[in-house]
């Protein structure tokens, strides 16, 4: 038997009770189950890696799925080869090393999107660590960290009292901290490494409908992605 460490994304559903591990000689299968793991943690803090001692070979291919207490199974993961590190997983590990407070599932989603964009692939889970240079890896880490921080910032309602972006920490006293400068610095660093031109989309200020419409209309909606306010002036003003 061989020992193989498996890194994966924990599920975001409650009542998971078992991790099922399958192995095959080839990525196309056929796969056979080699282990059932019941020490999977408690929602939402499930395990994100496991070392099986029951592998037939360190270079075989592995896939996993999860089972809930109701006997419901998740979809199978993409198969990956033992002894290799997926690029997405390495990015996630490095981002969480910089900011452990981030949600691993959110970071994983952002990392997969970054890999897909940077390397122009529809299957980011097929990329392994050696597919990226050290500079590209650093750029992907910074861009993933920035995007994860933006998601965290927006989810908090846009105001925080303490914010850490990598090695940059912002803290306020009586007022709230604005993390956008730290996020912009991360994106600028990522752009330099990757040769890209991403930017931070800032939240626009609140719009007073009475002022915007001259007192004769109402605020219909706000598109924060383009900083656009949509005003409904009513039938008389059209």
Q: Which of 81, 112, 135 marks a domain boundary? A: 81
Residue 199 domain flag = no
Per-residue tokens: 162: 């303490």
Q: Would you say residue 26 has pLDDT above 90?
A: yes
Cα–Cα distances (Å) from 135 to 68, 131, 161, in that order, read 40, 12, 32
Q: In terms of pLDDT, which residue wins out, 151 or 188?
A: 188
Q: Which of 38, 58, 81 marks a domain boundary? A: 81
pLDDT band at 66 (very low <50, low <70, confident <90, very high): very high
**Range 75-83 average pLDDT:** 89
Structure-token match 């604005």, residue found: 178
pLDDT band at 153 (very low <50, low <70, confident <90, very high): low
Residue 60 domain flag = yes
Q: Which of 58, 81, 104 marks a domain boundary? A: 81
Asked whether residue 97 falls in the same domain as residue 112, the answer is: yes
Cα–Cα distances (Å) from 225 to 123, 145, 184, 229, in that order, read 26, 19, 16, 11
pLDDT band at 228 (very low <50, low <70, confident <90, very high): very low
**Range 51-76 average pLDDT:** 95
Residue 100 domain flag = yes
Number of domains in the chain: 3
Asked whether residue 216 falls in the same domain as residue 231, the answer is: yes
Q: Would you say residue 69 has pLDDT above 60?
A: yes
Q: Would you say residue 125 has pLDDT above 80?
A: yes
Asked whether residue 43 falls in the same domain as residue 103, the answer is: no
Q: Would you say residue 224 has pLDDT above 50?
A: no
CATH number at residue 60: 2.60.40
| pLDDT at site 170 | 43
Q: In terms of pLDDT, which residue wins out, 50 or 178?
A: 50
* DSSP characters over 27-81: TT---EEEEEE---EETTEE-SEEEEEEES-TTSEEEEEEEETTS-BPPPPPPEE
Percent of the chain with pLDDT over 90: 45
Asked whether residue 9 falls in the same domain as residue 41, the answer is: yes
The boundaries of the domain holding residue 35 are: 2-81
**Range 135-157 average pLDDT:** 82
Asked whether residue 72 falls in the same domain as residue 108, the answer is: no
Q: Would you say residue 210 has pLDDT above 80?
A: no
Residue 148 domain flag = yes
Q: Which of 178, 108, 175, 190 is nearest to 141 (CA)?
A: 190
- Residues forming a β-bridge with 2: 55
Mean pLDDT, rounded, of the chain: 78
Number of helices (H), then strands (E), in the chain: 5, 12
> In this predicted structure, which of 60-64, 98-102, 155-159, 192-196 has the lowest mean pLDDT?
155-159
Whether the full predicted model's pTM is greater than 0.75, yes or no, is: no
Per-residue tokens: 132: 């990226």
Structure-token match 């927006």, residue found: 154
């Amino acid at each position: 038997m061989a020992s193989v460490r498996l890194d994966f994304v924990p599920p975001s559903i409650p009542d998971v009770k078992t991790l099922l591990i399958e192995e095959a000689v080839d990525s196309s299968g056929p796969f056979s189950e080699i282990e059932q793991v019941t020490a999977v943690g408690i929602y939402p803090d499930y395990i994100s890696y496991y070392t099986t001692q029951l592998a037939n070979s360190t270079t075989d291919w592995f896939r996993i799925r999860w089972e809930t207490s109701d006997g419901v199974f998740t979809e199978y993961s993409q198969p990956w080869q033992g002894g290799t590190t997926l690029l997405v997983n390495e990015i996630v590990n490095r981002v969480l090393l910089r900011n452990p407070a981030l949600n691993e599932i959110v970071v994983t989603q952002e990392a997969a999107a970054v890999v897909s964009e940077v390397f122009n692939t529809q299957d980011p889970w097929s990329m392994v660590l050696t597919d990226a240079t050290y500079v590209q890896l650093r750029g992907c880490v910074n861009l993933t960290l920035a995007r994860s921080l933006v998601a965290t910032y927006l989810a908090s309602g846009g105001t925080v009292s303490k914010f850490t972006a990598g090695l940059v920490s912002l803290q306020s006293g009586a007022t709230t901290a604005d993390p956008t400068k730290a996020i912009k610095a991360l994106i600028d660093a990522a752009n330099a490494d990757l040769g890209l031109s991403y930017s931070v989309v800032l939240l626009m200020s609140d719009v007073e409908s009475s002022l915007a419409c001259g007192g004769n209309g109402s605020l219909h909606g706000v598109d924060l992605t383009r900083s656009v306010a949509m005003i409904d002036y009513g039938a008389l003003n059209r």
